[in-house]
Structure 1
Amino acid sequence: MNFSQLLKVFIFSAIPLTEQRAAIPIGIAQYGLDPVSTLIVSFLGSLVPVPFILLLFNVVFKWMKKYKFFNPLNKIIENKIQKGTGKIEKYKEIGLIIFIGIPLPTTGLWTGSAVAAVLGLDFKKSMLCAAIGGLISAIIITLITISVGSFASLFS
């Protein structure tokens, strides 16, 4: 195992634009890392920002709203949060797990954690739901990456 490549997967999975959806395919397809190791490292990396988002999102977002400079970013954030709020608000913990667990654009640990913070959901429950959803997402992405790689090798 290449430690520097695993570290890159860990970091990619913690970044909001890449998260697990990019980190896992990069680890498996580009770096040739073991799928299980890649899944575990990506899962752990994606959890790093969650407690900070749950605890600090509302404070930072409120501060950003005071300055016109942040208006374009605030609008993007508000739109992302509004898309997830209804489902999570209605189904609470199960909604949060599903929202995070299904690896689609505008879903994931960053957005799910931000929505949980905005809705004022319980911190411990939100952490647990984020972990469960993140694990589900990591498994789905890993299976898709392996499947696509196997399918592509048929045509090589």
Structure 2
Amino acid sequence: MKEKLVHFFIETFSFLPDEWVVIVISAMPILELRGGLPVAYGIYDFTFWKSYWLSVFGNVLPIIPLLLLFRPISNWFMRFNWYERMYTWLYERTMKKSGNVEKFGALGLILFTAVPLPTTGAYSACLAAAFFAIRFGYAFLSIVAGVLIAGIVMGILSFSIL
């Protein structure tokens, strides 16, 4: 599925410079830098550091809006049954995967974000930070640190495989 999404975005945003395609892919939920970094290296043949920084930049872009807006927007949308059901599903799913966040707080967010597995990226970490009421400054720095670490791990994996 990820592969189809990546190719869809490459084709859809073909009018953009290659660097911006990587940034857009890296900013997308589900794909994040785990999708952007291999595209940067494997398709566009960027260097390690160029691939890394473009992907990290794209993955960091949505963090501030998510941390600042998720709770107020969710509170407003809770009046709708469909959103309450989706929120409950998202909450339970995030809580299942965020044991370290609950145990270690902001440090747990670093670990949660840094592990390059599906559903453990910056988007999920922002939701976990909101669910556990971790203060903005701690959450932002922790998630960015996790993205930086995940970028190194994914970069090494991408460059050794491709």
Find out whether 1:13 has 2:21 as its counterpart. no
Alignment TM-score, normalising by the size of structure 1: 0.86
Q: Return closer, same or farther for 1:114/1:146 CA change in 2, 3 Å cut-off.
A: same
The sequence identity of aligned pairs, in percent, is 27
Q: CA-to-partner distance for each residue in 1:84-115, whole Å, 9 max, x for gaps?
A: 34320111122110000011011010110111
Aligned partner of 2:120 in structure 1 is 107
Aligned partner of 2:132 in structure 1 is 119
Aligned partner of 2:6 in structure 1 is none
Which whole-Å CA distance do the structure 1 matches of 2:44 and 2:84 have between them? 38
Match of 2:38 among 11, 25, 29: 25
Counterpart residue identity of residue 46, structure 1: N
Find out whether 1:140 has 2:153 as its counterpart. yes
Unpaired runs of 5+ residues, structure 2, are: 1-15
Which whole-Å CA distance do the structure 1 matches of 2:116 and 2:93 have between them? 15
Find out whether 1:35 has 2:48 as its counterpart. yes
- The total of aligned residue pairs comes to 147
Which whole-Å CA distance do the structure 2 matches of 1:63 and 1:84 have between them? 26
Unpaired runs of 5+ residues, structure 1, are: 150-156
Q: What is the CA distance between 1:13 and its match in structure 2? A: 0.9
Q: Calculate the aligned-residue CA RMSD, in Å.
A: 1.6
Q: CA-to-partner distance for each residue in 1:108-134, whole Å, 9 max, x for gaps?
A: 101101111121112111111111100
